[in-house]
Amino acid sequence: MKMITVIGSMNMDLVVDTSRVPENGETILGNSFYTFPGGKGANQAVAAARLGGDVHMIACVGNDGFGTELTRNLHEEGVDTANVSYSSEKSTGIANIILSEKDNRIIVVPGANYELTPQMIEGLRDIIKMSNVVVMQLEILPETVKAVLKFCDELTIPVVMDPAPAKYFEVDMISSIRYITPNQYECEQLFGLDLDEALEMYPNQLIVTLGKDGVRYFDGEKHIHVEAIQTNAVDTTGAGDTFNGALAYAISHQYALYDAVKFANAASSLSVEKLGAQSGMPTKEEVEARLAR
Ligand code: RIB
């Protein structure tokens, strides 16, 4: 049994590509506009499924066009969407993304993502029980995240947690998390420590992604640094999600931690080569080819 359950957000990404970001009160003309399926949860589910994972999504979308489109997209990617529910109260979550100067700025409006309640999780215990890895992020209600962590803790199901947005992380969550994967900025926000100190405090548990500087963790004796693979980045949106989805895939297939991190690092280097969070997510063969390069 190698089922990966992702419990998290599904958003429609409304992406504007612009040469610069406007000042307060200023109107400028952008270069292009796109809509892409996104949401950290859905992105992580697609990343794991494209690698060949058996992935189940638990999420909530609105009863609207975006909700239908996002669910269909996940289904076409091979993700089990039987437990994506539809809210009649709130519209589907969206992310307003500004791409400028090779970076992105994102505002998420959670909408129906905040309709996924602890009570709904209660009703899905039998599904969660079948998972050998659960993946979460923080774009859903904190109480829902806590309910899942408590349940996974009781059943000793490993949880991969992408603590983003970091503001919603609570430090006492950490004891129920097997792997936590902030970027460097989020790591500082979460622990208020310098990078080395934070890594040493959570050996083999805290894995920090550093963008073009790769990935670091502490193995209990020494600091491990997996270097980034140089690539031609077109859009970094979803790179962290690809890392998490691939890490979950590797963990569910019993890779050793170092191999899992290398695999996820290579997957994420491929994901940035196309526009849109999910477009560049690789297959397992593509990751292995990159690792062999
Ligand atoms: O991590 C990238 C994702 O963050 C985007 O797809 C957007 O929807 C936000 O959730």
Average pLDDT taken over every residue of the chain: 97
Atom of ligand 1 nearest to the CA of 139: 10
Say if 37 falls within a structural domain: yes
Lowest-pLDDT choice from 30-34, 99-103, 271-275, 289-293 = 99-103
Catalytic site includes residue 241: yes
Say if 116 falls within a structural domain: yes
Q: Find the 103 Cα to ligand 1 centroid distance in Å.
A: 13
- The Cα–Cα gap between 82 and 62 comes to 15
Pocket test for ligand 1, best of 34, 43, 114 (most atoms within 8 A of CB): 43
Residue in this structure with the two tokens 């796109």, named with its chain if needed:
34
Q: What is the CATH number of the domain that holds 168?
A: 3.40.1190.20
pLDDT higher than threshold 90 for residue 23: yes
Q: Residues of the chain with pLDDT > 90: what percent?
A: 98
Per-residue pLDDT tens over the stretch 112-151? 999 999 999 999 999 999 999 999 999 999 999 999 999 9
Per-residue pLDDT tens over the stretch 94-109? 999 999 988 899 999 9
In terms of DSSP bridges, do strands 54-62 and 179-180 run parallel, antiparallel, or are they unpaired? unpaired
pLDDT higher than threshold 80 for residue 1: no
- Sign of the dihedral through C-alpha 233, 236, 238, 243: positive
Per-residue pLDDT tens over the stretch 161-174? 999 999 999 999 99
* Total structural domains within the chain: 1
Q: What is the DSSP string of 226-252?
A: EPPPP---S--TTHHHHHHHHHHHHHH
Q: Closest Cα partner for 45 from 85, 4, 11?
A: 4
Pocket test for ligand 1, best of 97, 242, 281 (most atoms within 8 A of CB): 97
Say if 113 falls within a structural domain: yes
Say if 51 falls within a structural domain: yes
Per-residue pLDDT tens over the stretch 169-194? 999 999 999 999 999 999 999 999 99
Burial 99-125 (b: 16+ CB within 10 A, else e): bbeeebebebebbbbbbbeeebbeebe
Q: Closest Cα partner for 34 from 108, 105, 99?
A: 99
What range defines the domain where residue 149 resides? 3-21+31-292
- In the chain, count H helices and then E strands: 10, 13
Task: Please state whether the predicted TM-score (pTM) of the whole model is above 0.95.
Answer: yes
Say if 26 falls within a structural domain: no
Mean pLDDT computed over 267-292: 97
Say if 217 falls within a structural domain: yes
Say if 165 falls within a structural domain: yes
Mean pLDDT computed over 56-85: 98
Say if 48 falls within a structural domain: yes
